[in-house]
A and B are shown apart, each in its own frame.
Chain A
Amino acid sequence: MSGGVRGGFWLLLPLFGLALCLGLASVWMNIERVDLAYTLKKMEYELGERNALADKLGVERDNLMAPYQLKRLADKFGLGPAGPGQIRRLPAAETRPAPEKP
Chain B
Amino acid sequence: MVKQKKKGRDFSRFKLACVAGLFVVLLGALWVRAGYIQLWRGPQLEELASRQSYAAEFERGQRGRILSKDGAVLATSVEAQSVYARPLDAAKSPKTPRVLASILGLSEAEVRKDLSSKKNFVWIKRQVSDAQAKAVAEAGLPGVHLTSEYNRLYPNGHLAGQILGFVDVDGKGLEGVEAAFEDRLAAGQAKLVVQRDASGRRLYLDDQGREMDINGHDVRLTIDSHVQDLTEQALAEAVRKYEAQSGMAIVVKVDSGEILAMANYPFFNPNVSRTTAAGLRRNRAAQDVFEPGSTMKPFLVAAALEEKTVTADQLFDCENGKWKLRNKIIRDDHPHRWLTVSQIVRYSSNIGAAKVGQTLGSQRYYDYLTRLGFGSRPGVTALSGGVGILHPAQAWTEIDQAAISFGQGIGVTALQMAKAYLCIASGGEAKPLKLIAEPAQDQPEASGRVFSNRTAQAVLAMMREVVEMDGTGKMARIPGVPVAGKTGTAQKAGKGGYSDERLSSFVGLIPGDKPEYLVLALVDEPQNVSYGGIVAAPAVKEIASRALAYYGRLPEAPALAEAARVEPDPSQVMGEVLPAGQPRTAGERVPDLHGLPLRRAVELLVQKGIVPVLKGRGMVVSGQKPAAGDPWPEGRDGDNDVFVLILS
Contacts and interface: CB of A to CB of B under 8 A. Distances in A.
Contact of A37 (B72, B204, B478): B204
B557 A40 contact: no
A21 interface: no
Given A81-B549, A88-B556, A37 B203 contact: yes
A97 interface: no
A40 B204 contact: yes
A84 interface: yes
B82 to A, nearest CB: 14
Contact of A82 (B62, B204, B549): B549
B72 A68 contact: no
Contact of B203 (A38, A56, A65): A38
Given A58-B76, A85-B479, A87-B552, A63 B203 contact: no
Contacts of A66: 72, 155-157, 159, 225, 229
Contacts of A52: 78-79
B494 interface: no
A75 to B, nearest CB: 11
B416 to A, nearest CB: 28
B627 interface: no
Given A44-B204, A55-B78, A56-B78, A83 B229 contact: no
B605 interface: no
A54 to B, nearest CB: 10
Interface in B31-89: 62, 72-73, 76-79
Interface string B378-408: 0000000000000000000000000000000
A71 B230 CA distance: 9
B480 A85 contact: yes
Interface string B343-379: 0000000000000000000000000000000000000
A95 interface: no
A86 interface: yes
Contacts of B201: 38, 41
Contacts of B558: 84-85
A37 to B, nearest CB: 4
Contact-size category for B: 35 or more
Contact of B479 (A37, A59, A65, A84): A84
B323 to A, nearest CB: 41
A76 interface: no
A56 B233 CA distance: 27
Interface in B203-230: 203-205, 225-226, 228-230
A96 interface: no
A52 B79 CA distance: 6
Contacts of A87: 549, 552, 554-556
A65 B157 CA distance: 12
Interface in A58-82: 58-59, 62-63, 65-68, 71, 81-82
B203 A71 contact: no
B554 A86 contact: yes
B636 interface: no
B130 to A, nearest CB: 8
Contacts of B480: 84-85
A93 interface: no
B203 A34 contact: yes
Contact of B76 (A37, A59, A88): A59
A89 interface: yes
B550 interface: yes
A68 B156 contact: yes
Interface in B167-200: 194-195, 197
B126 interface: no
Nearest to B130: A56
A59 to B, nearest CB: 5
Contacts of B73: 58-59, 62
B554 A83 contact: yes
A67 B78 contact: no
Contacts of A85: 479-480, 554-558, 560-561
A63 B155 contact: yes
Contacts of A86: 554
A44 B550 CA distance: 44
Nearest to B156: A66
Contacts of B481: 84
Contacts of A37: 195, 203-205
Contact of B225 (A44, A56, A67, A88): A67
B600 interface: no
A41 B76 CA distance: 26
Interface in B529-559: 545-546, 549-550, 552, 554-558
B159 A67 contact: yes
A65 to B, nearest CB: 7
B78 A59 contact: yes
Nearest to A55: B78
A62 B75 CA distance: 10
B2 to A, nearest CB: 37
A85 B561 CA distance: 7
A86 B157 CA distance: 31
Contact of B72 (A65, A71, A81, A89): A65
B202 interface: yes
Contacts of A88: 556
A41 to B, nearest CB: 5
- Most A CB contacts (10 A, CB to CB) among B78, B202, B229, B546 go to B78
B554 A82 contact: yes
A68 B229 contact: yes
B153 interface: yes
Contacts of A82: 549, 554
A84 B554 CA distance: 6
B556 A81 contact: no
Interface string B605-626: 0000000000000000000000
A86 B549 CA distance: 9
B561 A62 contact: no
A36 B560 CA distance: 73
16 contacts: A38-B201, A41-B201, A56-B78, A59-B155, A62-B155, A62-B156, A65-B72, A66-B155, A66-B225, A81-B230, A83-B545, A85-B557, A85-B560, A85-B561, A87-B554, A88-B556
Interface of A: 34, 36-38, 40-41, 44, 48, 51-52, 55-56, 58-59, 62-63, 65-68, 71, 81-89
Question: 5 closest A-B pairs (Cβ-Cβ)?
Answer: A67-B229, A62-B155, A40-B204, A37-B203, A85-B558
Given A41-B203, A85-B557, 17 more contacts: A37-B204, A41-B204, A55-B78, A55-B79, A58-B73, A67-B225, A67-B229, A81-B545, A81-B549, A82-B554, A84-B478, A84-B480, A84-B558, A85-B479, A85-B556, A85-B558, A87-B549
